[in-house]
Structures are given as structure tokens and as C-alpha cells.
Homo-oligomer: A and B are copies of this chain.
Amino acid sequence: MIEATIYKALGDPIRLEIVKRLSVTSTSTVGDISTNLGITRQGARKQLQVLVNANVVHLEQCGRQTQVSLNTKTLQIAQSFISQLERKWDNRLEALKNYVEASD
């Protein structure tokens, strides 16, 4: 059940805010992303690492700064898994409805 780690990574206000920022900002060094989150740079960095570990975000060293980028592939997996849940649930309800109607 490794899947849960993706959602766990997104399941924190600060981490979600980081991901949001990444989706719209073009300049994104670790320093940029870590400011104005209401916590220290080191604290922000720890949260960023959680995103890295969950493969949501990718880091690349560029001289003295580190560039941050979103891993859309991971997001896509997370997204499609949720829609699969919805689909299965709806099918189940459909089947149940048919069953009830058939026995009328």
C-alpha cells in the first residue's frame, strides 16, 4: 500500500501550499519556495523533503542553488486512482439499483 504516501505528502497545509506555488510560479529555487510560509527555511526544507520522498517534487542542484520542479507523473497516478474509486463505487450503486429493480 505504497499509494498512501502520495496522499500523505499532500495532506499537510504547508506542503500543499508548496505544491500550489510550484504549479504557478516559474522561478522556483528552494529558497524562493521556502519564504513566506510562516515557518523557518529549515522547517520548510523538511516539508519539501517529504514531497521529494513521495516523488511529488524533484530537486536539481544548480550551482549554489537548488531548483524545484513538480513531478506531474506522480500527481497523475494519484488523480487517476481517485477517479477509479469513484467509478467503482458508481458501478456498485448501479448494480445494486438493477438488482432491486429486477426483484420488483
Contacts and interface: CB of A to CB of B under 8 A. Distances in A.
Interface string A47-75: 00000000000000000000000101001
A72 B92 contact: no
Q: What is the count of identical protomers in the complex?
A: 2
A16 interface: yes
A48 B79 CA distance: 22
A75 B70 contact: no
A48 to B, nearest CB: 15
A79 B89 contact: no
A12 B11 CA distance: 10
A32 interface: no
A82 B72 CA distance: 10
